[in-house]
Amino acid sequence: AQTVTQSQPEMSVQEAETVTLSCTYDTSESNYYLFWYKQPPSRQMILVIRQEAYKQQNATENRFSVNFQKAAKSFSLKISDSQLGDTAMYFCAFHSGTYKYIFGTGTRLKVLA
Amino acid sequence: DSGVTQTPKHLITATGQRVTLRCSPRSGDLSVYWYQQSLDQGLQFLIQYYNGEERAKGNILERFSAQQFPDLHSELNLSSLELGDSALYFCASSTRTGSSYEQYFGPGTRLTVT
């Protein structure tokens, strides 16, 4: 069975600094998709970034980028130039193209002014 | 705006009652997922439908049921409600975009059982 682990329950970062959130997963699938979702205090779930496992190039979306290490089954999210609006819960998610999405337990990120 | 709509936004009801939560997926999305998120908890997958058929079940209680209609909207029925059912219930829809699957969430229905 697939699992997703986020080992950092809470993190904080100073505004304008860089922070990296960790995510590891376990699967026997060779092709799959990984996602980071953001849940701000409004509780809306927002897709931040996605990565296809067959792509070696790490995905980037503006200030958000990932470090995808397929062999190590690691998928970390780097937020550069952190902004107060980045304060949120961040969830890592896995999808193998079958039916279920598997979510991690989340990392609560607080950006400090 | 994700394009996924959920009604109602808030629902307050008493223990033992039954409620129905409604979800309309994004235009063109055939898959609908339901999740439960209790306070400060992660997302618990409940159930998935694809084009009207149940495709996957997660930690869904027997008191809960769902269906997806021909127009692709979905309803989650919660019966014999207990205090512990108080949570945020999300609906999400997904589609295959190019070579990737993306899941988009509605704003959620906040259920309070008193």
- What is the pLDDT tens value at each position of chain A, 113 positions in all? 788 999 999 999 999 999 999 999 999 888 899 999 999 999 999 999 999 998 889 999 999 999 999 999 999 999 999 999 999 999 999 988 666 788 999 999 999 99
Residue B97: predicted pLDDT:
55
Mean pLDDT over the full length of chain B? 91
Residue B64 has which token pair?
């809960």
Contact A110, A88 (CB under 8 A): no
- pLDDT higher than 90, residue B42: no
Residue A37: predicted pLDDT:
96
Q: Which of A66, A60, A54 is nearest to A93 (CA)?
A: A66
Would you give the end-to-end CA distance of chain B in angstroms? 31
Q: Which of A35, A91, A99 sits opposite B43 (nearest CB)?
A: A91
Q: Which of B29, B26, B11 is nearest to B76 (CA)?
A: B11
Residue A98: predicted pLDDT:
66
Q: Which of A55, A35, A68, A96 is nearest to B103 (CA)?
A: A35
Q: Summarize the confidence of residues B49-54 as an average pLDDT.
A: 91
Q: Which of A41, A44, A42 is nearest to B105 (CA)?
A: A44
Residue B96: predicted pLDDT:
64
| 3-class DSSP assignment, residue B44 | strand
Q: Chain A residues contacting B, CB < 8 Å?
A: 33, 35, 37, 43-47, 50, 52, 54, 91, 93, 95, 97-106
- Measure B31 CA to nearest chain A CA, in Å: 9
- pLDDT higher than 60, residue B98: no
Residues of A in contact with B101 (CB under 8 A): 33, 95, 97
Residue A29: predicted pLDDT:
86
- pLDDT higher than 70, residue B90: yes
| C-alpha dihedral (B38, B39, B42, B48), degrees to nearest 10 | 30
Residue A69 sits at φ, ψ, to 5 deg, of -120, 95
Q: Summarize the confidence of residues B74-90 as an average pLDDT.
A: 97
